[in-house]
Structures are given as structure tokens and as C-alpha cells.
Structure 1
Amino acid sequence: MARWNSVFQSCKQQAIAEGVGTFILVFAGTGAVMVNQISDGAVTHLGISFVFGAVVAALIYALGHISGAHFNPAVTLAFWTSGFFPKRQVLPYILAQSLGAIAASALLWMALGRVGNLGATVPLEGNWLQSLVLETVLTFILMFVIFGSGLDRRAPIGFAGLAIGLTVGLEAAFMGPITGASMNPVRSLGPALVGGIWQHHWVYWVAPILGAQLAVLIYSQLSNGFRDIK
């Protein structure tokens, strides 16, 4: 127990930033889904996609210098396996992200009620295999952009938030109606836990983690085992 307390204390500020950032991400993004339902479609699907992309971009600029702005267990695990993130901080980050997402969904449920499935992600017509494949590809693209724009020292400086936010928004726009375009296990966990909506929930853990790890493998080949970008 003392060891774990020491680990959490060593990254307390970063973990708080991850929890707050993930809270804001889920509150804004799934909140847009719920408000769209309440307002009979006033937000629109493209509007929801814009909200997700915009809040991700804003949070990267607001918190990237504190925690690295992961807000996503798949991203945290990919940073670890690629050598950019210490192993001892993986669990605190994922716990903070999970708590932030759950808190956001709980607050939305209390404020708006059980509408729009709380923004939960479920495969279209229960086709879990389709969503498994597509979510894997979506997260691969997202993680690939994160490596290319946010970590590679050869990339133009200052555009990572914009590039990553645009990627989230465009992926939500063209694939959201099929899979929910989660790309983030805890973005799916919050609504699932609070709303009790668990249909094929495992897909939204397995696919993002797999997709992010595939990006690690591919970008490693483009950067000589990441030696070119460290």
C-alpha cells in the first residue's frame, strides 16, 4: 500500500489533470449527444462530431503541458509501449481517466435524465465484429496522428491539438453512426456504467487498445524504432 501511495503521490498533478480533462471530454461530448436527443436533433450529428473534436483540441492546449493530455487508456498504453511514458504511471492515469468519465456521466444523468442512452456507444444492429474492426482502424488513425503531430520532433510545432482534434471530429462524423466512434475505452465506460448499457462493451476496450498498439508498430518503422523522434 505504501508503494502505491508513493506512486500516486509522484504523479498527483498529472493524474488530477487526466481526471479533469477526461471529465470535460465526456461531459461535453456525450452531453452533446444527450442534448441533441432532448432538442429533437438541434445539435445534429455533425454538431456532435464538432463538439468531440473541439473539446479534445482545447484540452490538449490546456493540459498537454501538465499531463501530456492522454484522456484515453489506449493512448496511455501506447505511450508506455513505445517508450514515451513510465510504467509506474500507467495505472494512476487509467484510474483517473476512468473516474473522470464516470463522474461526467453521473452528472449528466442527474442533470438531464436518462436520455440518448447517456451517449453510450453500441454497435449498429448489434454487429460487434463490424464495430471491432472499424474501431480498431479509427483508433489506429488517431494514434498515428498523435505520434506524427504530437511526439515527432520533426513535425511543425504547435499544431498537435488542432491535428488531433480534427482527427477525432472527422472520424466521429463519418463513422459515428456505425460504431459510435469511441476510440477511447473510458469514453464508453462512463455512459455504460451509469446507464447500465453493456451491450458488446468489451469491443470498446479491445479495439482501441489494439488499434493504438498497431500505430505503435507502424510508426516505429517510420522513425527507426522511435529513435528519430525522441
Structure 2
Amino acid sequence: MAKIAIGNGREALQVDCLQALVVEFICTFLFVFAGVGSAMATDKLAGNSLVSLFFVALAHALVVAVMISAGFRISGGHLNPAVTIGLCVGGHITVFRSILYWIDQCLAAAAACILLNYLTGGLTTPIHSLASGVDYLQGVIMEIVLTFSLLFTVYATIVDPKKGNLDGLGPLLTGFVVGANIMAGGAFSGASMNPARSFGPALVSGDWTDHWVYWVGPLIGGALAGFIYENFFIVRSHVPLPRDEETF
């Protein structure tokens, strides 16, 4: 069973960590800029709701695939606190570095939304919130399932050393599942799957309606998928992260 690596504060001064944080910021910024920007564009154009949903899903699918590919070598291309916690549970990133990633991702999302607000002349930044008739429990479960799907795909197509013919296709396939999940859940919970993606618009708009749902659901879904896949489906001689601190 994979052990969670705690890590320590010295990681923040390591060159590879600093490089990873810079790349993670850039990739998350560009992801949120395109993702939120696509939602703002559909609002401005006042298109058909079904067409708008498809447009937003397609934009997210494309930018997720590209930004994971762009950041993968240096930071892993997480773009998402739920992805980070899923990989942390599997022992692929330390708890300390995970916290740095979370802060980095949220700052990048906020910066992207601030810039979008300026560039669009103050257009409303659409937040993730529950649709009419969807209660908190339904929203949380929806986000758990959607994010579980996302992380399960990440593990199966990127992390698993025995991915076979899928090698190299992970970012594209992950983008596909993000797009599909938005089509499936966008009309109900908004299909965030990403606390940072929800945080940026909420901060800029000042509207925190239902916001906690988009932390609880994705983090549970991501952690659950990481734990299950790492411990039940990956067969390998696991090389643990260096640990000079206690693990659990």
C-alpha cells in the first residue's frame, strides 16, 4: 500500500520545486483563462444553452489536454488541487509540495479571472453553483463522481507504468473526460472537478454561493480515485518519494 510522504519546508527552496511552481502557475493560469473565458463568451453571445454547454465543454477539453502536456515534464501539469491530492494519496507528491501547488493553482486561477474581468470590460465572471432543484448532497455526490472519473483517467492513462498503447495519449484522454463530464454534469452542478477553477471566479465576482461544494466534492473524489487505483490496480515495485520525515 502506498504511503503518503509528508515532505518538509526545504522542498520550497529546491530548484526543481521552484521550477514546478512557476510552470504550474503558468499552465493553470492559461487553463482557467481559456475555461472561464469560454463561459464568459457564451454569456456575452447569449447562445442556445445546449450549444453553449458544448462550447464550454470543448474549450475545457482542448485546453486541459494542451496544458497537461505543456506542464507535464516539469510540474506534472496538475492544474487542479483535486489532481494534486489524488497523486499525493498515491505517494507521487509530498504533502508539503501539494500545499504549495494548491496555493499556486488558486493564485493562478484568481490572476486569470482578474485579467479576464479587465479585458472584457468588467463582464460578470460566471461562478460554479448548483442548478435549481439540486441540493447540497446531490451537488457534492455529482462532483465526487465526476472528479473520481477524472482522476481514474489520469492514473490509468498517465500514472500507471503499464498503460501500454495509451502511453503518450494521457493528456488528450484526460481532456476528453473533462469535456464529457462537463456535458454530463454541467447543467446540474456546473461540473467543476477543480476547486481552483471554482475559486478564481468566486473571488473576482465576490459570489461564494455553494462554493464549499466545489472543494469538498472534488477533493473527496480525487483522493478516493488516487487511493483505489494506486493500491488496487497498479502492480509495480513502487519507488517511494525520499522521506526524511514520518509517513503514514
Fold agreement, TM-score > 0.5: yes
The answer to whether residue 211 in structure 2 is matched with residue 201 in structure 1 is yes
The answer to whether residue 202 in structure 2 is matched with residue 192 in structure 1 is yes
- Paired position in structure 2 for 1:118: 125
Tell me if the contact between 2:27 and 2:67 (Cα under 8 Å) persists in the aligned partners: yes
- Paired position in structure 1 for 2:157: 149
- Paired position in structure 2 for 1:72: 80
Tell me if the contact between 2:129 and 2:189 (Cα under 8 Å) persists in the aligned partners: yes
- Paired position in structure 2 for 1:9: 13
- Paired position in structure 2 for 1:97: 105
Distance in 2, Cα, partners of 1:59 & 1:144: 19
- Paired position in structure 1 for 2:45: 39
Distance in 2, Cα, partners of 1:210 & 1:171: 17
Tell me if the contact between 2:86 and 2:227 (Cα under 8 Å) persists in the aligned partners: no
Alpha-carbon RMSD across the aligned residues, in angstroms, is: 1.9
Identity of aligned residues (%): 36
C-alpha displacement of 1:228: 7.0
Give TM-score scaled by structure 2 length.
0.85
After superposing on structure 2, the runs of 4+ consecutive aligned residues of structure 1 that deviate more than 6 Å are none
C-alpha displacement of 1:171: 0.5
The answer to whether residue 152 in structure 2 is matched with residue 138 in structure 1 is no
Tell me if the contact between 1:152 and 1:229 (Cα under 8 Å) persists in the aligned partners: no
Q: Counterpart of 2:140 in structure 1: which amino acid?
A: L
Q: Counterpart of 1:18 in structure 2: which amino acid?
A: E
**Structure 2 stretches of 5 or more lacking a match?**
1-7, 241-248
Tell me if the contact between 2:89 and 2:227 (Cα under 8 Å) persists in the aligned partners: no
Tell me if the contact between 2:68 and 2:79 (Cα under 8 Å) persists in the aligned partners: no
Q: Give the match's secondary structure for 1:99.
A: helix
C-alpha displacement of 1:113: 4.1
More helix by share: 1
Q: Counterpart of 2:129 in structure 1: which amino acid?
A: V
Give TM-score scaled by structure 1 length.
0.91
Tell me if the contact between 1:26 and 1:187 (Cα under 8 Å) persists in the aligned partners: yes
Q: Counterpart of 2:41 in structure 1: which amino acid?
A: V
Q: Greater CA deviation, 209-218 or 48-57?
A: 209-218
Q: Counterpart of 2:177 in structure 1: which amino acid?
A: T
The answer to whether residue 189 in structure 2 is matched with residue 179 in structure 1 is yes
Q: Give the match's secondary structure for 1:123.
A: coil
**Structure 1 stretches of 5 or more lacking a match?**
none
Distance in 2, Cα, partners of 1:146 & 1:185: 17
Number of residue-to-residue matches in the alignment: 225
Q: Counterpart of 2:196 in structure 1: which amino acid?
A: V
Once the two structures are superposed, residues 55-88 of structure 1 have per-residue CA deviations (whole angstroms, 9 ceiling, x without a partner) of 0000111111110000111111111121111233
Tell me if the contact between 1:98 and 1:189 (Cα under 8 Å) persists in the aligned partners: yes
